[in-house]
A and B are shown apart, each in its own frame.
Chain A
């Protein structure tokens, strides 16, 4: 029996889908059997980020309505044997699926996969309730902005009422130079407020945008710091103890000096 993890945030645009895609892929890289579910019915994105859009035949709503078998709707990833995606419907809305149906689908998937990663839509309405319905654990994604942290706090409050244990936190898009100048909330401030366990800190990275547009999850490449951060998050989910990445600028002091003296 696998574990179902919902990736949620409350606020839109903080990187839920990116986080789902990268954690899912990183777990598959570690040899786990992973199925990702996009529950953002009407605004599906996960298939695009994964580069699997053109393979969709059936979707989540088809499965819920019984117009196809679950196995028919699952899309095997083109890179990993052990990675699959259950895409959302693009033509319906959140009300096309009920929490009970979601729970049933997730339970079925857990029998076959080690990890079921559920990508939650923004908001706290039906889409959120659907996504949380079958989950055993929750990952809350936030960015170091007041509005995102406020919404994360609200979501944690709602998750406390669900049967998902204590949620874990991913702080996304941290810009180390802004934190250092005091222009951005730092990790300590956010943890002090939200009072939940930290799963990882992902630096802001252009590579994420590039890879999302290319339909290749960032963790596939070894160049960017964000991809390393996501791989570390996956390792922590698997139970390893991995230290947090140092913020870029701390390491970069030497580089700054080098640059000053014209070595680079």
Chain B
């Protein structure tokens, strides 16, 4: 057995095995130790039924190529499935990108026929959406005014997104890939303060005071 401090420490958890990678040694040393453990010393625990593997890189940054190298070594064993590779550090560019998208905007205008208000995140519109106008967002849509046009929330497939309006009279609502027209399952077109959400892939419209019960996590977002 190795007398020097192990570069790769393997621990078992309920969800499978976690590989803790030393973040002070060189990547080459890490690879060697991992190969040694996988191919020779830890044969007995690394065979048998399917095991989920999580890799914790600590404060080491691994390029996609390096991550692929690690993956290749572990994949040699058919019963090891890589669940996730986690690192405490990210590139500056990625960090900037995350900071750039505020995730939330406030707009004060009327979205008229033929106009489209689109945003990557949540939209709070202080104004009306007229028939023929469209509001689109990857997050939720909140209209503090009359929603008489079309609204699309969760453009990227976020099924938890909601569409809320002070006066709900839309021509069409979309959350993720579920489309619903007025005059069908939910509309009484009385322009009440309501919100639309998805329940079992069905569009449901409910009174606004039920929002905190049905989507309790919405409120915790930073405005």
Chain A positions within 8 Å of B, measured between CB atoms, are 150-151, 153-154, 156-158, 160, 192-195
Interface of B is mostly: loop
CA–CA, A157 and B128, complex, Å: 13
Tell me the minimal C-beta distance from A196 to chain B in angstroms: 10
- Whose C-beta in chain A lies nearest to the C-beta of B148? A193
Residues of the A chain whose Cβ atoms lie less than 8 Å from the Cβ of B103? none
Residues of the B chain whose Cβ atoms lie less than 8 Å from the Cβ of A160? 112
Q: Are B110 and A150 in contact (CB under 8 A)?
A: no
Q: Are A150 and B132 in contact (CB under 8 A)?
A: yes
Residues of the A chain whose Cβ atoms lie less than 8 Å from the Cβ of B110? 195
CA–CA, A192 and B146, complex, Å: 10
Q: Which of B115-130 contact A (CB under 8 A)?
A: 115, 128, 130
CA–CA, A194 and B130, complex, Å: 8
Chain A CB count within 10 A is highest, among B115, B130, B148, for: B130
CA–CA, A249 and B131, complex, Å: 30
Tell me the minimal C-beta distance from B129 to chain A in angstroms: 11
Q: Are A154 and B114 in contact (CB under 8 A)?
A: yes
CA–CA, A194 and B113, complex, Å: 10
Tell me the minimal C-beta distance from B146 to chain A in angstroms: 8
Q: Which of B123-144 contact A (CB under 8 A)?
A: 128, 130-133
Indicate which residue in A150, A156, A192, A195 contacts B131 across the interface (CB closer than 8 Å): A150
CA–CA, A153 and B149, complex, Å: 12
Known: A153-B112, A192-B146. 8 other contacts (CB 8 A): A150-B132, A151-B113, A153-B113, A153-B130, A153-B132, A153-B133, A157-B112, A160-B112
Residues of the B chain whose Cβ atoms lie less than 8 Å from the Cβ of A192? 146
Residues of the A chain whose Cβ atoms lie less than 8 Å from the Cβ of B112? 153-154, 156-157, 160
Residues of the A chain whose Cβ atoms lie less than 8 Å from the Cβ of B131? 150, 153, 193
Chain A CB count within 10 A is highest, among B112, B132, B146, for: B112
Residues of the B chain whose Cβ atoms lie less than 8 Å from the Cβ of A151? 113
Residues of the A chain whose Cβ atoms lie less than 8 Å from the Cβ of B115? 157
CA–CA, A156 and B130, complex, Å: 12
Tell me the minimal C-beta distance from B122 to chain A in angstroms: 24
Tell me the minimal C-beta distance from B132 to chain A in angstroms: 6
CA–CA, A193 and B132, complex, Å: 12
Q: Are B128 and A154 in contact (CB under 8 A)?
A: no
CA–CA, A157 and B116, complex, Å: 11
CA–CA, A160 and B114, complex, Å: 13
Chain A CB count within 10 A is highest, among B114, B115, B132, B148, for: B114
Q: Are B148 and A157 in contact (CB under 8 A)?
A: no
A-B contacts, 26 of them at CB < 8 A, read A150-B131, A150-B132, A151-B113, A153-B112, A153-B113, A153-B130, A153-B132, A153-B133, A154-B112, A154-B113, A154-B114, A154-B132, A156-B112, A157-B112, A157-B113, A157-B114, A157-B115, A158-B114, A160-B112, A192-B146, A193-B128, A193-B130, A193-B131, A193-B148, A195-B110, A195-B128
